[in-house]
Amino acid sequence: MLSVDKLSAWYGAAQILFDLSFEVGRGEVVALMGRNGAGKSTTMKAIMGLIAQRQGRIIFNDDDISKCEPYQIARRGLGFTPEDRRIFSDLTVTENLDIGRQPPRQFLDGQPAPLWTPERLFKLFPNLAEMPDRPGGRMSGGEQQMLTVARTLMGNPLLVLLDEPSEGVAPLIVEQMANTIIELKKEGLSILLSEQNIHFAELVSDRVYVLEKGQIQWHGAMTELASNPDIQRRYLTV
Amino acid sequence: MTLNAFLFQILNGLSSASGLFLIAAGLSLIFGVTRIVNLAHGSLYMLGTYIAYTFATKIGGVTGFWGGIIATALIVGLLGALIEIVLLRRIYRAPELFQLLATFALVLVINDAALWLWGPADLLGPRAPGFRGAVEILGRRLPTYDLFLIVIGPLVLLALHLTLTRTRFGRLIRAATQDREMVGALGVNQAVLFTSVFALGAALAGLGGALQIAREPANLATDLIALGDAFVVVVVGGMGSIPGAYLAAVIIAEVRALCVGIGTVDFGFVTINFSKFTLVAEFLVMAIVLIVRPFGLLGKAQGAVRSIAEPEEPIRPATPMLKALGVVVLVGLLCLPLLAQGSPYLLVLGIDVLIAVIFATSLHFIMGPGGMHSFGHAAYFGLGAYGAALLVKWLALPMGVALIAAPLLALCGALLFGWFAVRLSGVYLAMLTLAFAQIVWAAVFQWEGFTGGSNGVIGVWPPAPFDKSWAYFLLTLVLAVAAVLLLRRFLFAPFGYAMRAGRDSPLRAEAIGIDVKRVHWLAFGVAGLVCGIGGGLFAFAKGSISPETIHINRSIDGLVMVLLGGVQTLTGPIAGASVFAVLHDTVMRQTEYWRALMGAIILLLVLTFPQGIVGAFASLWRKAGGRL
């Protein structure tokens, strides 16, 4: 579904990512793990075309997107939920959802991608259903996190880049987020998740890549990482 | 003034408010989404008046007038789209100020295009078919067309409001105003959105212009006046707020109308002619609003704009090679009086260039390292010039004293205005500095008894030996070099580091104990002081000064000089001022269409050297393997 080959990225003169290569298969939930500053968010932004200085090949859905503008990437069915949420605070919940709206989409084999409407999303996130007319700026962090995911789903994506969905939200919401991810996986979506929290990642991911200093240090099945305290201590524990 | 007369003036004000609102609304929309401060917005308005005039007179009748107004809005809208696609799209990633420069070049080009197409005379359109009469209201006759205009403003406001809240296009505009990058990441093609917003804004300006032809003649000076008005309205209302723009348009139009209505009032001890305040009223309103509500009446604090431009390079001391080059240039300039014995004009040009260098480097001092984009730097130049000239005129003081007093007066002005200005940032700061400059200008213009009003001050000649142009040239050279070195000294002192730290990350700078506002305030003062030196020299160089010295055009010239040279280097403003002054003095003499030529040169520079002249040379140099 998504294959990244030798991805490098820079902020000004500082190189942040060094030749990252990894893959996300169809219907798979893959976690990018690592401490703060390891380069998880930068990887997501670079895939999305939001970092001007980047190099390497990114193939999504058999399509080379390494030179594409962000909107072209989004229109190919790659959804992005940023870690800082970036809700349009002057717009209401419904209006925020409307900004993310895109036409229905199909997988390469002709199978339709999950089609999302505000009604369906309100079922997935009952909290949002209670406040369709509330401006984004007057929502709690957890509610904003749900809105960000819902807004991205409005584009009927084939694969979603979820940047730290569990960060800074209440434990109850974290649990709800995990359920949502499992739900989305059942719908047939692929997900690339960035996470620091091993307990959260363990609940939802199939495979994991561990990042440090902009390089992939380890990768394997999630169960393997969960049972390997040595790797966890070396790359994840703070 | 009777109550009836008062109410009648209120109606008058409301009809002017509609025009103000139309142009301001477009400017506000464009700024909100594209973050481009479109200086050519007044020019689009002016084109609206001319195009509508042509329709109304060439086709005539109801179709020519009313159809013409609709057609004008569409044509100007298309022109706006064209401008966005051909020019602005190439420079979205350039520093904000560069975009200003590009749109200013458009002002020049469009003005000369209008001169070429329609000629220099004022053109008054026919009266509006169906609205030729007047109705009697409160014992006075109000043209029915004015009533029509009163209604148009709220109608457009309503239409815009519905578009922004009820349509997807409108929601996209609002979302992009907050975070255009995120809108892009959700699959929206920003290029199309930007073009359509620019076209919509331009169409509104064109419509505003077209509606005016039945009231006021089409005129080549309209562009800058309309631009100034639009800015004031947008800033007072709050950037990006459409209802705010209408509210501000009404307030400003009413204050102006009341100033005219009140006329001369005798308070017993003093007689004040309020109609004289019309020139300055809107700027007074703006200054007060910005001081009390820094983001305008209905505006909100601007979300930090996610900068897409490259971060600024740190300023480095000049390399030995550049220093050597500087010495060579200096020696050349010292020899200029000997070389120029045959052509006295060369020395006059030299003096102009040196004064421009003082003006531009002092502006650069707050703009580049300080990050404060002053749109009213002419105020300090004018304070210096008028200070010197008036001391000579009223107290007959010698030139030496006047030249010392000039920068001190400018310093006082800069400290006073700067104290308010450093509390704001970005466009708001730019507009407040502009407001202060306009207030100084208006004061000089209106206070005829003291300043000579529009005639200015004449007979400010330097005494011997400085009456010879070579001697005055050398004096100017010495002061210019001293000014530049003084500013350089400040920049490489801890004070200069604090200034740049405050520009780059104000919060972190404060966290390590820098009082950012105070540092920037003092920097404002230093810039004013140095600028005042240039003003004093200017007065004696020309022998006479007029309010032109403080005019907004001079402030804009300064911006062009700094940007032309490049904001990020210290040599930039020197090179930019020299190139600008030489171009200005030579190109202007060659052709009637000097503005267009100047604009074309600027556009060419903007598109080919997006880092300014010196920046472009520096990067060429680096590519060739050297370091400047």
pLDDT, tens digit (0-9, with 9 covering 90-100), for B169-224: 999 999 988 888 999 999 999 889 999 999 999 999 999 999 999 888 999 988 88
Mean pLDDT for chain A overall: 93
- Contact check, Cβ <8 Å, A88/B172: no
| Whole-number percent of chain B with pLDDT over 90 | 46
- A75 vs B187: CB contact, 8 Å cut-off? yes
**Res. B84 pLDDT band, cuts 50 70 90:** very high
Nearest to A155 among B175, B181, B187 (CB): B187
Domain B3-119+142-292 adopts which CATH fold? ABC transporter involved in vitamin B12 uptake, BtuC (1.10.3470)
CB contact under 8 A, B188 and A90: no
Check B182 against A88: CB less than 8 A apart: yes
Q: Is the pLDDT of residue B380 over 80?
A: yes
Q: Is the pLDDT of residue B114 over 50?
A: yes
Within B368-425, residue ranges assigned H as helices are 378-395, 399-421
Q: Tell me if B182 and A91 make a contact (CB, 8 A cut-off).
A: no
pLDDT in tens, B93-108: 777 777 877 898 899 9
- Predicted confidence band at B306 (pLDDT cuts at 50, 70, 90)? very low
Partners of residue B313 in chain A, C-beta under 8 Å:
none
pLDDT tens-digit series, residues B9-45: 889 899 999 999 999 999 999 988 888 888 899 999 9
Nearest to B190 among A71, A95, A101 (CB): A71
Q: Give chain B's contact residues with A (Cβ, < 8 Å).
A: 168, 171-172, 174-175, 177-179, 181-190, 308, 310-311
- Structure-block tokens of residue B390: 């008036």
Question: How far apart are alpha carbons B262 and B527 in whole angstroms?
Answer: 39
B49, two tokens: 């008046």
Residue B344's pLDDT band (cuts 50, 70, 90)? confident
Span A35-60, mean pLDDT? Answer: 93
CA distances from A12 to A7, A43, A53, B304, B499 (A): 16, 16, 8, 19, 22
Q: What is the pLDDT of residue B307?
A: 45
Residue of A nearest to B172 (CA): A99
Helix (DSSP H) and strand (DSSP E) numbers for chain A: 10, 10
What pLDDT, on the 0 to 100 scale, is given for residue B516? Answer: 93
Give the mean pLDDT of B465-490.
92
Nearest Cβ partner of B186 from A89, A91, A99? A99
What is the predicted pLDDT for the residue at B611?
Answer: 65
A91-109: pLDDT as tens digits: 999 999 999 999 999 999 9
Sorted by where each begins, the domain ranges of chain A are 2-235
Give the tens place of pLDDT for each residue, B389-403: 999 989 989 999 999
Q: Is the pLDDT of residue B582 over 80?
A: yes
Q: Which of A74, A91, A95 sits opposite B186 (nearest CB)?
A: A74
Where b means 16+ CB within 10 Å and e means fewer, A137-146 reads: eebeebbbbb
- pLDDT of amino acid B27: 92
Answer left, alpha or beta for residue B198, where phi above 0 means left and psi between -120 and 50 means alpha.
alpha
- CATH class assigned to A2-235: alpha beta
Interface test with B, best of A11, A71, A147 (most B CBs within 10 A): A71
Of A69-73, A152-156, B327-331, B350-354, the range with the lowest mean pLDDT is: B327-331
Averaged pLDDT for residues A22-47 = 94
Whether chain B has a CB inside 8 Å of the CB on A91: the answer is: yes
The rounded distance, in Å, linking the Cα atoms of B130 and B67 is 13
**For residue B264, what pLDDT is reported?**
75
| Residue range A194-212: mean pLDDT, rounded | 93
Distance from B199 to chain A by nearest Cα, in Å?
Answer: 21
Closest CB to B181: pick one of A50, A91, A155.
A50
Residue B627: band (very low, low, confident or very high) from pLDDT cuts 50, 70, 90: very low
Residues 8-27 of chain A with CB under 8 A from chain B are: 12
pLDDT bucket at B308, cuts 50 / 70 / 90:
very low
Predicted pLDDT at A221: 94
In chain A, pLDDT over 90 holds for what percent of residues?
81
Average pLDDT, chain B: 87
Break chain B into its structural domains and give their ranges: 3-119+142-292, 362-550, 552-628
How many CB atoms are located within 10 Å of the residue A73 CB?
24
Identify the pLDDT of residue B311.
56
In this complex, how many residue pairs, one in chain A and one in chain B, have their CB atoms less than 8 Å apart? 63
* Short-list B72, B19, B15, B46, CA closest to B218: B46
CB atoms within 10 A of CB A108: 11
Task: Give residue B303's pLDDT.
Answer: 52
SS3 of chain B: helix, strand, coil, percent, to 5: 75, 5, 25
* B363-376 pLDDT tens trace: 999 998 998 989 89
Q: Does A89 touch chain B (CB under 8 A)?
A: yes
Name the residue with higher pLDDT: B610 or B444. B444
Confidence of residue B141 (pLDDT cuts 50, 70, 90): confident
Residues of B in contact with A91 (CB under 8 A): 171, 174-175, 178
| Cα A42 to Cα A11, A16, B301, distances in angstroms | 9, 8, 28
Confidence of residue B313 (pLDDT cuts 50, 70, 90): low
Q: What is the pLDDT of residue B628?
A: 42
Question: At B436, is the pLDDT very low, low, confident or very high (cuts 50, 70, 90)?
Answer: confident
Residues in A closer than 8 angstroms to B183, CB to CB, are 99
For residue B538, give every residue at least 6 positions away whose Cβ sits within 8 Å of its Cβ, in sequence order, or none. B355, B381, B384, B385, B545, B549
Q: Can you give the pLDDT at residue B302?
A: 60
* Residue in chain A lying closest to B303 (CA): A89
- Using pLDDT thresholds of 50, 70 and 90, give the confidence band for residue B312: low
Write down the residue that tokens 């020519």 correspond to. B64
DSSP state at residue A113? P
Nearest CA in chain A to B166: A95
The partner residue sitting opposite B185, judged by closest CB among A70, A95, A102, is: A70
Nearest Cβ partner for B187 among A71, A90, A96: A71
The pTM for the full model equals 0.85
B278 has pLDDT over 80: no
Q: Look at residue B230 and give its three-state secondary structure.
A: helix
State the maximum Cα–Cα separation within chain A, in Å, rounded to a whole number: 49
Predicted confidence (pLDDT) at residue B624 exceeds the cutoff of 70: no
Per-residue pLDDT reduced to its tens digit, B488-513: 999 999 999 999 999 888 899 999 99
**Percentage of chain B modeled with pLDDT above 70:** 95
In A, which residues are within 8 Å of B172 by CB distance? 99
| Rounded-to-integer distance, Cα B520 and Cα B408, Å | 18
pLDDT score at A118: 95
Quick check: B184 and A70 CB within 8 A? yes
Whether residue B182 and residue A90 make contact (CB cut-off 8 A), yes or no, is no
Q: What is the ipTM of this complex?
A: 0.93
User: Which residues of chain A are within 8 Å of residue B186 when distances are taken between CB atoms?
Assistant: 71, 74, 80, 99-100, 151-152, 155
Instruction: Select from A11, A76, A86 the residue whose CB has the most chain B CBs within 10 Å, as the one to mutate to test that interface.
Output: A86
Residue B396, pLDDT score: 87
Q: Comparing B234-238, B298-302, B443-447, B567-571, which segment has the lowest mean pLDDT?
A: B298-302
Which pLDDT does position B612 carry in this prediction?
A: 66
Q: Between the CA of residue B52 and those of A141, B70, B94, B130, what are the distances in Å?
A: 52, 9, 35, 17
